[in-house]
Chains A and B, each alone.
Chain A
Amino acid sequence: MKSGLKIIHWIIFLWLLLAIVRFELIIDYLYLILSYSSLFFTDTPSAFAVQSFGLVDAFLSALLFLLIIPLILFFGKRFRFITGKLNFSFGFLIVLGFVFLFAPIISNENPDFSKNLSVTKLLPPLSSVKQFELKYDELSNLSAAEMFRKKSAEIIKPSFNENIIFADSVKLSEKIIYYQKNISYEIESEQIIDESGVPLIEEKFFLLGTDEFGRDLFVRLIYGTRISLTVGIGAVILSFVIGIILGFIAGYRGGFPDILLNRFTEIFLAFPVIYLVVLILALFGSSVFSVIIVLGVSGWMSLFKIVKSEVLSIKQKDFFSTAELVGLSKYKLLSKEILPVIIVPVLVNLVFLFSNVVLAEAALSYLGLGTGNTYPSWGSMISSGQEYITKAWWLIAFPGLGLILTLFSFNSSGRMLGRIINPRLRK
């Protein structure tokens, strides 16, 4: 009887935590989904007009969030992984997975939202400011699509909202007086959104502080995780496909392609690839897509070598020549006969590749050549935080810590996987 915490327990704990803390938001998302589907059936063209990436993202997250526990309970038995013992790196990887999949549920703020710089600039972690919202103009005769757009902007916060005001302190008298860096402003209390007559003044809490533009560091960290992982997954999949196919060709066929590919990998392995990556990104422009492609294309060599040597040895085995004689196609040979045999060493290599890619992406963003300023990224957060190093340590500490823990988790789980295939290292 195994005892102790298992990975599945940790998943359920995180799920429950998120479900309790973000209960209202999830309900809101479900409401949005319902109203969107009713809009879709009544007025299809305008339903297409109101959809955006953020909306689809939130819908998918909410649906997946509801489905994930039944899915795990149903299909979980197939993967012995989730009943394995929990340790730090697996735990952290699962947290990363949650952040990646459920970012809209963890926070519905926009990572680029910035307002009232004099109040929110460079706030330390765990600080809070007063926040209230001006009343919106009441528009009559809104169409269904416009109603939906207004409702969804309330739930999925846009990157700019003029009506939200941050203040250091607020005084309630006949008029409302609020202070922003010792400058006072007056406002009629009717202008503010209220709750049964009392003006609604909330505390806006910044868990990890704010950056130089007054943007919430926690939200940026969450969405930065997504960018890093997206780049990592994309590049690793690309490397996987290229490495497997070329390795199969080189090992199975031999001859000229083999010689050519060997020479090619030698160039790439005998050279600091970072310069080529920087060169290509600088010359051809950098975006999320180009970073994924360049990192994916520059990472397949070690995989190629593994696959090639494994294919060379499998080629001699009886089961493979039988499959060949039966007349399986090249694709079937690769996917049914070779892949299952080599999957574990390949997987280990992919895990290490993933941590290399995440590191490379962060380094490129640090140099200003990464995924651009469109999305927050750990590397670019650190590089912009370096300017404020004397004033704001948290700008570097949190993205840096996230990066270190991610790389550590991947490296150590890669090492654990490696021990499974290489029992010599097990003691």
Chain B
Amino acid sequence: MKSNIVKILFTRFLSSLLTLFLLVSFLFIIIRLSPGDPTDKYISAKLGSELSEKIAEKFSLNEPVTDQYFSFVANVFRGDMGVSYNYRLPVFEVIWEYFSFTFVFATISFFLQMSLSIGLALCVMKRRSKRLDNLVTNASLFIYSIPAFVLGVALIYIFSVTLNLFPISGLKSLDYDYFTFFSQVLDKLHHLVLPLITLTLAGIALFYKYIKENMDEISHQTFILNLKASGMKEDVILKKHVLPNSLRPLISVAGVELGILLGGALITEVIFGLPGMGRLTVDSILARDYPLVVGCVFTAGAVMIAANFLADIIKLKIDKRLVKGILN
């Protein structure tokens, strides 16, 4: 059994590596296909054409495309992403700086989403009121339909412009450096309230839908009826039997969601001007900072795969019956 699990995880790992490899190749193809020559910006009336040729030679742009591709892939997997054009820093340093923010932001949002949606679903199930159920279901569908940028801008209008409770954008106040450590943390949290609401609400609605549907389905199964007939308390049944059984399909969705969040909450970061992975990626794309683009997309892909991997491990831990299901 144990060796079986290790084998599954190993094959999963290999196939993830393959996926990453294909992703990087795909990026290479897209970037090579796109119009424009990287040496173009070195051509000017004063410098003459020799410089651009020299640059092309230095960066091995004269070599056949296949050779370029192999050295590119080899470098990426050696962990050498090159140097960002814009920041003049190794790509990993730039990404690390932005990823640390995204990591904290995404983790807080993820745990809020999970706990609040499960709590809400439990609350609604306990009440057993059809009207409340319908109300919450429709409300969650409505909230799920609000695009992040509409919600974010509306929150800014209500809480920042009209009520003046929270800052409009950024992560630090102007006099941040003079604060004590404790108030620095508080200041950052104060800046993060609106972005967290923007990022979290839709996720709560999505998770709520999944949990609620699973719970409804499971609470109609015969073993629950059996437990009820044997005189167990409703609360205990709900918490000990319905909830654990309905969490299983949720975990894979949660894995995908965590991966997306860790890849960067693009829209939320743009609205609130936060230094996260999403904005870094799009800025690097718009600035045609190719090494950084590859680095960011690679990170997003790797993080997504890691999150799915984590979800698989947790699922296996919870439910041994799944070993066969994942094997296929």
A: residues with CB less than 8 A from B are 263-264, 266-267, 270-272, 274-276, 278-280, 282-284, 355, 359, 362-363, 366-367, 379, 382-383, 385-386, 389-390, 393, 396-397, 400, 403-404, 407-408, 411-412, 415, 424-425, 427
Contact = CB atoms under 8 A, between A and B. Distances in A.
B153 A263 contact: no
Given A270-B259, A280-B30, A282-B285, 15 more contacts: A263-B19, A266-B19, A270-B19, A271-B304, A272-B263, A274-B266, A275-B297, A275-B300, A278-B281, A278-B282, A282-B288, A366-B267, A382-B153, A389-B157, A390-B161
Interface string B249-270: 0000000000110011011001
Contacts of B19: 263, 266-267, 270
A412 B141 contact: yes
Interface residues of B, number: 50
B55 interface: no
B193 interface: no
Interface string B284-301: 011010000100110011
A270 B263 CA distance: 11
Contact of A271 (B18, B23, B264): B23
B30 A283 contact: yes
A366 B271 CA distance: 10
Contacts of A278: 281-282, 285
Contact of A393 (B30, B141, B157): B157
A370 to B, nearest CB: 12
A275 B305 contact: no
Contacts of B156: 389
A412 B304 CA distance: 29
8 smallest beta-carbon distances between A and B, as pairs: A283-B34, A400-B150, A407-B145, A408-B145, A272-B263, A282-B285, A366-B149, A404-B146
A282 B286 contact: yes
B30 A363 contact: no
Contact of B144 (A363, A379, A393, A411): A411
B308 A270 contact: yes
B150 A403 contact: yes
A425 B22 contact: no
B148 to A, nearest CB: 8
Contacts of B271: 386
Interface in B147-189: 147-150, 153-154, 156-157, 161
A295 to B, nearest CB: 15
Interface in B134-150: 138, 141-142, 144-150
Interface in B100-155: 138, 141-142, 144-150, 153-154
B147 A404 contact: yes
B31 A283 contact: yes
Given A270-B304, A408-B141, A408-B145, A279 B285 contact: yes
18 contacts: A263-B22, A270-B304, A271-B23, A271-B300, A272-B300, A275-B297, A278-B281, A279-B27, A279-B30, A279-B285, A283-B35, A366-B149, A367-B270, A379-B149, A382-B149, A385-B153, A389-B156, A396-B150
Nearest to A385: B153
Given A272-B304, A283-B30, A407 B147 contact: yes
Query: Which of A267, A272, A280, A359 is packed against the most chain B CB atoms within 10 Å?
Result: A272
A280 B264 CA distance: 18
Interface of B: 15, 18-19, 22-23, 26-27, 30-31, 34-35, 138, 141-142, 144-150, 153-154, 156-157, 161, 213, 216-217, 259-260, 263-264, 266-267, 270-271, 281-282, 285-286, 288, 293, 296-297, 300-301, 304-305, 308
B142 A408 contact: yes
Contacts of A271: 23, 300-301, 304
A271 B296 CA distance: 12
B141 A363 contact: no
A367 B147 contact: no
A400 B145 contact: no
A362 B267 CA distance: 11
Contact of B147 (A362, A386, A393, A425): A362
Contacts of A397: 154
Contact of A386 (B153, B260, B282, B304): B153
Contacts of B148: 363
Given A279-B293, A366-B267, A412-B141, A272 B147 contact: no
A427 B216 contact: yes
Contacts of B288: 282-283
A382 to B, nearest CB: 6
A363 B297 contact: no
Given A363-B147, A367-B282, A427-B216, A270 B305 contact: yes
A302 B285 CA distance: 27
Query: Which of A278, A284, A425 is packed against the most chain B CB atoms within 10 Å?
Result: A278
Contacts of A282: 285-286, 288
A97 B109 CA distance: 37
Contacts of B18: 263
B301 A363 contact: no
Contact of A284 (B34, B147, B281): B34
B153 A396 contact: yes
A367 B285 CA distance: 12
Contacts of B304: 270-272
A16 to B, nearest CB: 30
A275 B149 contact: no
A20 B154 CA distance: 36
A112 B10 CA distance: 59
